[in-house]
Amino acid sequence: MPIALPRPRTQGQHDVVLGLVPPFSAFPQKVTGPTVWQAEDFRAKPELWKEQWTADQIAELESAYESFRETGRPITAISKVGR
């Protein structure tokens, strides 16, 4: 099955090798094991998955976003490499 449109990639990504992707029928019907998250484990403990941001953290994120937006570069230009 061809991919509809080529998409820009971020660092570390490469073209999909469709021959290596198993058919849907080969995937498990149910995922189980100790790494599976269960909703009931988190409903009673929101501190496990909800992050409380301080006003300073929000301001820092907004400032970083504005600085990046002003460059006019696409989102795929973001990397861990310094300026």
14-54 tens-digit pLDDT: 777 888 889 999 999 998 888 888 888 888 888 888 888 99
Flag whether 27 is in a domain.
Answer: no
Flag whether 54 is in a domain.
Answer: yes
Report the number of distinct structural domains present in the chain.
1
Flag whether 2 is in a domain.
Answer: no
Q: Which residues contact 78 (CB under 8 A, 6 or more apart)?
A: 10, 68
Residue numbers of the domain that contains 68: 37-75
The predicted pLDDT at position 3 comes to 52
Average pLDDT (57-69) is 93
Flag whether 68 is in a domain.
Answer: yes
Residue 50 CA to its chain's centroid (Å)? 17
Of 76, 73, 69, 75, give the one whose Cα is nearest residue 10: 76
